[in-house]
Amino acid sequence: MLGSAFGEDCTWTEAYDMIDEIILNSNALIVQNYPEGIVMEAPNVRGYLWFLKPLPFLVHHDATNGSMTFTNGFRLDSVSAFAYDEGGNCTPRNWEVKLSVESHNFESTVILTYENMSVEFLFWKTQGKLIVSFSPIITVLEYEDTIHCGLASVTPDIRIMDYHIQFADSLIWSWFLHLTTLKDLVIQLSAELLPSVVDKYVVEPWCDKYHK
């Protein structure tokens, strides 16, 4: 059964609190074990970005030696769906939640860095270090049955108000990249890298505690 309440003696608040407890405990572990943040290697990327899309202007880029750093814990924003055991067990199953990675002291808490990035547009070309900081909202779907329990899917989104670009120590080039589809590339890389953090610190602890 799916819904916002799951049983005569079970409430939506209980489901929220059970998931939130896992997240809060994991946040404490992240801060304790990774005071400088969880650092993941980002793949080299090479290709084209659109400039002022949908105008037909392309920006060539080549970025190497990249990393994505997760510097803070999650916050449970909402529980949108879940199932429950018909036998009266109030533990939610197959839940879908939205997590946010909140800004800390007004600083975004996921940072994508490429130590070397070259950008070429028409007759202009430059290279330097790229730093993109942002705060994602992540939709997480957990799946379990009588045998399996694990992460079904993760869909990240980026909040524009917490999205900042620094490139080549240049305000002009940083502003220029804001006008390209670099954000789409950031979302793509987030979809590749952030699921491992969600799985390890949200879904796996849940399964360890509640999947029997």
Grouping H, G, I as helix, E, B as strand and the rest as coil, residue 210 is helix
**Across the strands, what pairs with 38?**
70
Taking the chain (212 residues) in runs of 10, the rounded mean pLDDT of each run is 50 87 93 91 97 89 97 88 70 88 65 97 95 91 89 81 87 95 93 93 93 75
| Model confidence, pTM | 0.87
- Measured CA to CA, the distance from residue 197 to residue 208 in angstroms comes to 16
Q: Are 137 and 98 in contact (CB under 8 A)?
A: yes
User: Which CATH number describes the domain made up of 12-210?
Assistant: 3.15.10
**Domain spans of the chain, in order of start:** 12-210
Write the burial class of residue 210 (CB in 10 Å: 0-12 exposed, 13-18 middle, 19+ buried): middle
Tens-digit pLDDT profile for residues 34-73: 988 999 999 999 999 999 888 889 999 999 999 999 988 8
Write the burial class of residue 50 (CB in 10 Å: 0-12 exposed, 13-18 middle, 19+ buried): middle
